[in-house]
Copies of this chain bind each other. A is one copy, B any other.
Amino acid sequence: MARQQNAPDPSRRSEQSRTAILTAAAGLVAEIGFGKVTIEKIAARAGVGKQTIYRWWPSKGAVVFDAFLAANENASGGLALPDTGDLGADLRTVLRLTALELDDPAFDRTGRALTAEVLTDPDLLREYRQRLLDPLLEVTRDRLRAARDAGQLRADADLDLAVELLYGPLYYRWLHGLGPLDAGYADQVVAAVLGALGG
């Protein structure tokens, strides 16, 4: 059956609902915290039925996670690491930003709640890996590979190990509240990794 010219465009309506749901989810998390957000509350605020949400997302965590991704996409446009030619300076820039973000109390609460969901929900972990973590690790490896090709890292430096040595300690310190997450700590981690793998 041909679609009538003046009927509402279903794909456009879907897109509006999707945006309303993501906006509602992000707003609710900021206002009442991840733990108190429910699919019901998101649906009510977005003006859609619960089933509309469940058609697109399997769980509350998945919706909230997509809401954060949407916000980040608007802000940054794309993922890339600086390449000034100075590997140490570029890694310090990235790790300082990471430390700052982890140290932000507004991020901390939501970040912990989302991390907890990701750890115990294999589907959500897969989504998180595909959409956020793997691209981040990949651009970091790309930057390290360029440095290795330029002789700034040992020729046999393992880049999977390198990214885990960079991000692992910050993440470990953050999750367990072991110490300050500041520029000084970020710089220490970068210096250690360059000391271990430097050319």
Contact = CB atoms under 8 A, between A and B. Distances in A.
A6 B137 CA distance: 68
A116 interface: yes
A58 interface: no
Contacts of A93: none
Nearest to A161: B188
A192 B160 CA distance: 13
Q: How many copies does the complex hold?
A: 2
28 contacts: A112-B120, A116-B116, A116-B117, A116-B120, A129-B176, A133-B176, A160-B178, A161-B169, A161-B189, A161-B192, A164-B168, A164-B173, A165-B189, A167-B172, A168-B168, A168-B170, A168-B171, A168-B173, A169-B169, A171-B171, A172-B172, A191-B196, A192-B193, A192-B196, A193-B196, A195-B195, A195-B196, A195-B197
Given A161-B185, A196-B196, 18 more contacts: A35-B120, A112-B119, A116-B117, A119-B175, A125-B176, A125-B177, A137-B178, A160-B178, A160-B179, A161-B169, A165-B165, A165-B168, A165-B189, A165-B192, A168-B169, A191-B196, A192-B193, A195-B195
Interface of A: 35, 112-113, 115-117, 119-120, 125, 129, 133, 137, 158, 160-161, 164-165, 167-173, 175-179, 185, 188-189, 191-193, 195-197
